Amino acid sequence: MVFKCKKMKSSKKTVFMLITGFVMLLLIPSQSYAQTYSPPRAVFPAPEHVIHYTYPTFSWIPMYPHKSTTTYELILVEVLAGQTAQAAIQANPLILRKAFIKTPVFTYPVSAPALKQGKTYAWQITAHYRKGVNEVSVLRKLPGEVNVFRMITPQAATCITLWSEKPDDTRFYLVPDYELRFALGTRSHQEVTQLQFAIVNQTGKSISHQKIVPIKVKNTEGQYAIPLRKYAVFRKKSTRHQIYTLKVTTPAGKNYQVNFTTK
């Protein structure tokens, strides 16, 4: 602001009077950058996958960027003959709806209707998150794609899904913090106690002569962990980046395994 003043004389003092003034406004164009979000993406069952697990463990890649307030909702329907997956998810009765899932993994519960042989199913994951001041003002939904899978010869089996970082180029999994986390497609915790666990190196040698008992992860469904530093071999720097195998054997003699590395 610029002022023009006129000096006036008085017998006792000098005063200044404001005559005119004008204001200059500097207009600066503002830019706003809208943040984009990536919806959750299915990992297992993969699109068009064929499975035989009666109680499969669903897993997905979380929405990005991750928010601490994010929860997930999983819905599952049967796909009828001649239907598309999208039409089925919108029109057919729900077989399962599970909301407020806090981790990107969920095991199909034994209390839900059993999945049937030869049937095709569609499932979808939707992220629920808040956007605004302190992330409490507006509740938003971010649905992922609708995926389908088909059931063949369903049986009460155990599948292993590692809860870990993204696989590297050799398709082995990196385990952060030396804690091996995984989900088991079992019907109850009692069934887990009947499973036999073993961790072996590339030559097939077990890392421990003691029985390996996984710990149930708190506030999760069907998720377990094995603290690797409990075993002497994983307290050595020489074991880093080497390949190991987690093996699970059921009372019926069925074997399941998955490879992993440590860092």
Q: What percent of the chain has pLDDT over 70?
A: 70
Mean pLDDT for all residues in the chain: 75
Is 11 part of any domain?
no
Q: What is the CATH number of the domain that holds 111?
A: 2.60.40.10
Is 130 part of any domain?
yes
Nearest to 83 by CA among 122, 52, 50, 44: 122
In a shared domain, residues 151 and 54: yes
Q: Which of 7-11, 18-22, 48-52 has the lowest mean pLDDT?
A: 18-22
Is 114 part of any domain?
yes
Domain residues for the domain of 132 are: 41-155
Residues 99/73, Cβ–Cβ less than 8 Å: yes
Q: Is the pTM higher than 0.85?
A: no
Residue finishing a domain among 113, 134, 155:
155
Average pLDDT over residues 107-119: 84
In a shared domain, residues 126 and 178: no
138-196 pLDDT tens trace: 788 899 999 999 887 544 334 455 544 444 434 455 666 778 877 776 667 777 888 88
Q: What is the pLDDT of residue 175?
A: 65
Q: What is the pLDDT of residue 186?
A: 66
In a shared domain, residues 65 and 143: yes
Q: What is the pLDDT of residue 245?
A: 84
Residue finishing a domain among 133, 155, 177:
155
Q: How many domains does the chain have?
A: 2
